[in-house]
């Protein structure tokens, strides 16, 4: 892929004697949605706070477009739009005034740009209402508008779907995918909704107790092996098992009254079908039992420490 947009190099954070983040290194590229996954208290938010400069690094370095967050903060941060935790706004101001407020802090934000982004996040009708009258979902949208105001090349969203209804979640998910694919923005998303991550992200980094357990693409992550778990629904399972065992020279296959389940190489599936059909066995369905992200997550993190 191209040059990494964000580079974390051996980032550590210690508070007192406690190590919150331990030697974190990974890269994030333009055009990808990077999911940051981990149980509560694992250090997701701390890492995000360090990327945006709210917290200082104890060790290591973070660069955004080659600018170090430690020494060239302004150059680094101007590429970034972010929501850290909840999108907290000035409640006694209107949504529009809030956006004006943040727009004034960056050069080149026009009123037209503000109205454009308001339209994009779907707040046009209520933008002149006071924020205290907004629902959580509307605040989330306003937060997104605030983050996208200056057309950043990096978007950092901490729990972006928090408080949204299913329709809103889907909308945000589509929008995030669109930003990454069409505008080449690097998006970092943290979430505890694993199924959500699976649909939204290209790559996922799992963090546990301040350490990076692994970074993998979602596809690899869910199906890391060439072999996959497959279920065959047939009319004569015991006979069918015999045939499959012969075809693939296996010794034992699990089955119940209708379903045979086995681990099988992708290329072997048509082979099995063929032999089953030849033997006159009625084949009703072939289902791949993909491991969900959740299963994998529990496997990797050992299932512990999830609140």
* Residues from 130 through 159 that contact other proteins (CB under 8 A): 143, 146
CB of 27 to other proteins, least distance (A): 21
The residue within the footprint of other proteins, chosen from 14, 25, 56, 299 (CB under 8 A), is 56
Is residue 82 near other proteins by the rule CB under 8 A?
A: yes
Choices 27-35, 69-77, 117-125, 276-284; region in contact with other proteins by CB under 8 A? 69-77
Binding part of the chain for other proteins, among 46-54, 176-184, 207-215, 299-307 by CB under 8 A, reads 46-54
- To other proteins, the closest distance from the beta carbon of 62 in angstroms equals 13
Edge-to-edge, what's the strand order for the sheet holding 33-37? 80-83, 154-158, 186-191, 33-37, 203-208, 211-217
Q: Does 73 bind other proteins (CB under 8 A)?
A: yes
Nearest approach in angstroms of CB 96 to other proteins is 12
Shortest distance (Å) from residue 167 CB to other proteins:
26
Closer by beta carbon to other proteins, 118 or else 293? 118
CB of 101 to other proteins, least distance (A): 5
Does 49 help bind other proteins (rule: CB under 8 A)?
A: yes
Using alpha carbons, select from 288, 270, 290, 286 the residue that is nearest to residue 278: 270
User: For other proteins, which residue of 6, 37, 64, 80 counts as binding (CB under 8 A)?
Assistant: 80
Using rule CB under 8 A, residue 31 touches other proteins: no
Find out whether 161 and 191 touch, Cβ atoms under 8 Å: yes
Nearer to other proteins, 47 or 301 (CB): 47
Q: How far apart are CA 203 and CA 34, in angstroms?
A: 5
Q: What is the C-alpha to C-alpha distance for residues 184 and 192, in angstroms, rounded to an integer?
A: 25
Nearer to other proteins, 102 or 175 (CB): 102
Q: Is 113 in the site for other proteins (CB under 8 A)?
A: no
154-158 and 227-234 strand pairing? unpaired
Task: Count other Cβ atoms within 10 Å, centred on residue 255.
Answer: 17
Least separation in angstroms between residue 81's CB and other proteins is 9
Closer to other proteins by CB, 94 or 301: give it: 94
Q: Helix or strand or coil: residue 20?
A: strand
- Shortest distance in whole angstroms from residue 77 CB to other proteins: 5
Read off the tokens for 210.
């301040």
* Enclosing H/E stretch for 196: helix 194-200
262 binds other proteins (CB under 8 A): no
Strand partners for 206: 37, 214
Which residue in 188, 225, 184, 191 sits closest to 203, CA to CA? Answer: 188
Applying CB under 8 A, the span of 2-10, 81-89, 116-124, 191-199 interacting with other proteins comes to: 81-89
Backbone angles phi, psi at 304, to 5 degrees: -105, 160
The edge-to-edge listing of strands for the beta sheet with 259-265 is: 254-255, 259-265, 227-234, 283-288
Are 89 and 98 in contact, with CB atoms under 8 Å apart?
A: yes
Residues at the contact surface with other proteins, assessed by CB under 8 A: 49, 52-56, 73-75, 77-78, 80, 82-93, 97, 100-102, 104-107, 143, 146
């Amino acid at each position: 892929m191209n040059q990494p947009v964000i580079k974390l190099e051996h980032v550590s954070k210690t508070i007192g004697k406690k190590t919150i983040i331990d030697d974190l290194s990974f890269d994030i590229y333009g055009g990808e949605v990077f999911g940051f996954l981990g149980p509560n208290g694992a250090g997701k938010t701390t890492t995000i706070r360090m990327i945006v400069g709210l917290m200082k690094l104890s060790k290591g370095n973070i660069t955004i477009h080659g600018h170090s967050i430690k020494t060239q903060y302004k150059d680094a941060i101007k590429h970034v739009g972010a929501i850290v935790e909840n999108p907290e706004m000035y409640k006694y101001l209107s949504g529009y005034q809030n956006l004006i407020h943040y727009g004034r802090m960056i050069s080149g934000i026009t009123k037209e740009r503000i109205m454009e982004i308001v339209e994009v996040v779907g707040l046009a009708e209520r933008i002149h209402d006071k924020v205290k009258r907004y629902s959580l979902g509307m605040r989330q949208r306003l937060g997104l508008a605030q983050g996208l105001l200056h057309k950043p090349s990096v978007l950092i969203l901490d729990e972006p779907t928090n408080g949204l209804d299913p329709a809103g979640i889907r909308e945000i998910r589509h929008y995030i995918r669109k930003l990454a694919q069409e505008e080449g923005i690097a998006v970092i998303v943290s979430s505890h909704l694993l199924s959500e991550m699976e649909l939204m992200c290209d790559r996922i980094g799992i963090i546990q107790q301040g350490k990076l357990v692994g970074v993998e693409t979602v596809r690899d992550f869910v199906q890391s092996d060439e072999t996959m778990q497959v279920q065959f629904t047939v009319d004569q399972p015991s006979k069918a098992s015999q045939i499959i065992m012969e075809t693939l020279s296996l010794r034992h296959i699990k089955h119940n009254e209708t379903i045979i389940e086995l681990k099988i190489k992708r290329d072997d599936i048509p082979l099995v079908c063929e032999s089953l059909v030849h033997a006159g066995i009625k084949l009703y369905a072939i289902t791949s039992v993909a491991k969900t992200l959740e299963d994998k997550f529990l496997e990797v993190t050992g299932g512990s420490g999830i609140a």
